[in-house]
Amino acid sequence: MATASLRIDLDAIVSNWRALDALTGTATESGAVVKADSYGLGADRVARALARAGCRKFFVACTEEGAAVRQAIGEGPEIFIFSGHCAGDTEMIGDLGLVPVLNSPEQLTRHFEALPGAPFGIQLDTGMNRLGFEPEDWITAAPAVLHAGPKLIMSHLYCSDEPAHPANAAQLAEFRRMTEGMSVPRSLSATGGILLGREFHFDVVRPGVGMYGGLPFAGAQPVVTLSLPVVQVRDVRPGETVGYSAAWTARRPSRIATVAAGYADGLSRRLGNVATVWFGDTPCPVVGRVSMDLITVDITDLDAVPKELDLLNHRQGVDAIADLIGTIGYEVLTSLGRRYARHYCGGNP
C-alpha cells in the first residue's frame, strides 16, 4: 500500500497529560487543549482517551470543534471555546452545552442576550494583544460578569517557552491585578506556563503541545510515528542526479529508495537534502528535493531493502524536524496530511 502510516500512541498522550498534571498542586485541575483536531492527531480519539483518564475540561478554538468533541465524549465534561460566542454560534452553544470564553464587550452582550443564564468563561488580555478584554473594558464589565458567575477567568502567556523572559512575570502580575479578590476559578498556563512553576498554575491549567510530545515539555513520551512506504528502489551511478532540478548528485554507487509522501502531505520542501529518515536505528539521508507525493532517500548503507522508513519516531520527534526547516513543532504536528492512514494504539479503559 503506497500510503504513509501515522501511528498515534494514545497511552503516551495520557501519560504526558498525567506527567504535566503531576507538576501542579492538588488544588489545580488539569484540562486538555484538543483544538485543531488535537493538533492534527484526531480530537475524537484523543478526547475520549483523556476523558476516560479523568480529564473534565477540554479547550478548543471554535464552536465547530467543540461540537465535534461533544459528540466524541458525550455529556458531562466542560468544553471551552477560546474564540468565544461569535455570530451564528448561539444555537450550537446552547444545544450542546458548550462554554464560550468571552473576549469582548460585544461577545458579552451577545451571550447574555441570546443565552441568558448559560455558562460562559472570560478571557483577559494581559499583554498579548490577541484575544480578551482590555483592562479598561474589564473594569466596566466585571460587576455584571461576576454577578452572572463565570465558569473560568483566563489569560494566555506569550513567552512561556522562554522561562527567563520578563513578559512572564509581567503577565503574571497583571493577571493577578485584574482578578484580585475574585472567587472565580482562574487559568493562566498552557504547557509552557505549567513548567514555569506553581505560581503560574492557579486553579486550572491547559496542557496542549506537551501532551502530544512537543517542546517545551522535554520529558514528554513520544506520541507519533510516521512511516513512509518504499515504492521503488534503484541503483544510481556516480555523477547521476536524483529528482527535480538535479538537486543531488551521487558521489558513489548509490541505492536510492523512493518513498510515498511529499509536500502534499505536510512535509516541507525544505527537508530536501537536509532531513534524515530511519530504518530501525539506522539513519538514512533524504537526497534531492521533496516533491508533491514522493521523497528520495539514500539507503546505500543498509543491508536490506526496507518496506518503509520512519520520518517521526522515538529517535526523531516533531521538534527535530521543525529545527531543520526553521519552524516549531506545533506547525509540524498540525501540518500532518489527511492522506496518512492513521492508526491508534492504547487508550482503552
pLDDT digits (tens, 9 = 90+) for 85-122: 999 999 999 999 999 999 999 999 999 999 999 999 99
Helix residue ranges, H only, 154-310: 166-179, 191-196
Q: What percent of the chain has pLDDT over 70?
A: 99
Per-residue buried b or exposed e for 246-282, using 16+ beta carbons within 10 Å of the residue's own CB: eebebeeebbbbbbbbbbebbbbeebbeebbbbbeee
d(CA 273, CA 10): 32
**Whether pLDDT at 83 is above 80:** yes
So what's the pLDDT on residue 347? 78
**Whether pLDDT at 320 is above 90:** yes
**pTM (global) more than 0.85:** yes
**Whether pLDDT at 1 is above 60:** no
- For CATH 3.20.20.10, list the domain ranges present in the chain: 10-212
So what's the pLDDT on residue 141? 97
Q: Return the DSSP state at 192.
A: H
**Whether pLDDT at 349 is above 90:** no
**Whether pLDDT at 199 is above 70:** yes
pLDDT, the chain, mean:
97
pLDDT category of residue 348 using cuts at 50, 70 and 90: low
- Residues contacting residue 204 through CB under 8 Å, at least 6 positions apart: 28, 29, 30, 31, 57, 152, 154, 185, 186, 187
So what's the pLDDT on residue 157? 98
Measured in residues, the chain has a length of 349
CATH topology of domain 224-316: Lyase, Ornithine Decarboxylase; Chain A, domain 1 (2.40.37)
So what's the pLDDT on residue 275? 98
Residue whose C-alpha cell reads 520512519 in the numeric block: 310
Residues with a known catalytic role: 35, 244
- For CATH 2.40.37.10, list the domain ranges present in the chain: 224-316
> CB neighbours (10 Å) of residue 74?
9
Q: What grid cell was written down for 273?
A: 537534502
Q: What percent of the chain has pLDDT over 90?
A: 97
Q: Which helix (H) or strand (E) holds 334?
A: helix 329-334
Q: Which CATH number fits domain 10-212: 3.90.1210.10, 3.40.50.720, 3.40.50.300, 3.20.20.10?
A: 3.20.20.10
